[in-house]
Amino acid sequence: AARYGVPPAPAIADAVVAGDRTLKIDQLKFDSLAWMEFCISVELQSGQELTPADIENMRYVFEIEEWLRARLS
């Protein structure tokens, strides 16, 4: 969870590894390429097209999960 070549802060890395769903999306500090790679990964794994525009209105990691659950149900 960081910009390419820049490691995440230890607290953020620990939260991601622990599955902390209350993590704020902006704390991930993804750049545009990282968001595109994330969206492509979601689509390849789930078959659901998530775009950076979808994520723009979300504030927390759990909102991405809820979006995906709604599409898969």
Chain segment 1-51, per-residue pLDDT in tens = 455 667 778 888 898 889 898 999 988 888 888 899 999 999 999 999 999
Report the mean per-residue pLDDT for the chain. 88
Measured at the CA of 19, the angle between CA 54 and CA 63, to 5 degrees, comes to: 25
Residues 27/10, Cβ–Cβ less than 8 Å: no
DSSP-based helix, strand, coil % in the chain, nearest 5: 60, 5, 35
The pTM assigned to this predicted structure is 0.77
CB-CB neighbours of 61 under 10 Å: 20
In this structure, the number of other CB atoms found within 10 A of the CB of residue 30 comes to 19
